[in-house]
Amino acid sequence: MISIALLGFGTVGSGFYEILKREEEKIEEKINDKVSIKYILVNDLSKNREQISSDTIVTDSFEKIIADENIDIIIELIGGETPALDYIKRSLSAEKIVITANKLLVANYFKELIKLAEKNKTHIFFEASTAGGIPVINMVEDYLAGDKINELHGILNGTTNYILSVMEKETVSMPETIKKAQALGYAEQDPSSDLGGLDALYKIVILANLAFSCAVNPEDIYCKGIKGITSYDIMYAEELGYKIKLIAAAKREDSGLRIFVSPFLIKKDDDFASTVGADNSLEIKSENLNHLFLKGPGAGKFPTGNAVIFDLIKASRFLLGDYKKSRSKKFNNIKINRKSDFKQSFYIRLQIEKNDSIIKNIKSMFDESNLADMILKDGSSDTPLLPLIILTRKISIQKIEKFMEYVENINGVLTINNIIPLKE
């Protein structure tokens, strides 16, 4: 009998529990042993949780759980840093196997948690931390173990992908779309981690750590979310033959790794263009497989709950001695190259007074620097303001931002609305 403590019974916790109960016989057959949820840790004991079996102890005391020597596996589905980090560390120190969906902790404490598990001859599993219903952790860590991964690109945040998809389809503002996403359960009441790109950042850091055997500090990574994107940007991108997507990427280079999160204009025939709604996708470029593209549900009660089940089966096999898995004891010290040094083309939207001489001045500046590939104006507006769209040739983000400071000082240029890179 494998004895389990489940920490947290929110969306993912209840989804995992429901799947486990529904498919219990099949799961136990895979494991070749019985599985028992002995404890479920919750904050509020007064809530009605009639779906929980009577033989499971519902408690608000982690101390009671950690003191029970018969617990084999602890599944952390609380989220956030406190108290989850303390619970995970104490569980590993007590030689318990840990399963977690906590991307924030896995990304920020990756090396520490791996080493702590190794020290106590146990293991930590975190398939559910990244891309929900797509087994990307297993793919990068195990399936491609005999391969050399060179690049990872992904749409790894379902909330922002849903928001951008709805804005594109219905031509509505971002605040309106966020409300719709919240009503459907795709966005938190405070969606700042999603909108700011942090959620995608944590996921690409986890994948990069596994793919390149390193321990990247998320604070070292360039991260820009979708907060500044408007329905105008989406409309102009559409007219130019593009869609806007939030892309997280990690790329092997001669001098180190380039890792970043940023919105991109992508061509309509790009693989990522077909990733719509709350779905996630991951593109892997490697020596053996050349190009691999995975797509599926990125979050939600059952996709993420299913990933926890996947880890439970692996954790049970580890416990029973059928799956003695160990992660790399060596963490490569790899330089993180700054995204500001990387040259690419950009979409720029600025607001100017409706005056041909201003356009002439801007065009002259870009021509002198040999930067503009295309300059378009939206002449349909009846207002005295004119949106101007510029597609640049390849230049670093640092240089284009500096250049646009000079453009912004031209008399009649009111504001630089957006600077978004184009995906090659």
Residue 101 contacts residue 124 (beta carbons within 8 Å): no
How far, in Å, CA of 284 to CA of 145, rounded? 13
For residue 34, give the nearest of 24, 21, 22, 48 by alpha carbon: 24
Q: Which two tokens stand for residue 179?
A: 């409300």
Alpha carbon distance 90, 124 (integer Å): 12
Environment class of residue 346 by beta-carbon count within 10 Å: exposed (0-12), middle (13-18) or buried (19+)? Answer: buried
Element (H, E) at 282: strand 279-286
How far apart, in whole angstroms, are the C-alpha atoms of residue 276 and residue 282? 13
203 is an active site residue: yes
SS3 87: helix
Pairing of strands 413-421, 395-396: unpaired
CA Rg value for the chain: 24
Pairing of strands 2-7, 73-76: parallel
Location of structure tokens 């640049």: 392
**Residue with the two structure tokens 């990733």:** 275
> Which one of 38, 103, 203, 339 is the catalytic residue?
203
DSSP assignment string, 164-200 = HHHHHHH---HHHHHHHHHHTTSS-SS-HHHHTTHHH
Helices (H), ranges, 80-151: 84-93, 103-108, 110-119, 136-138
Q: Which residues are catalytic?
A: 203
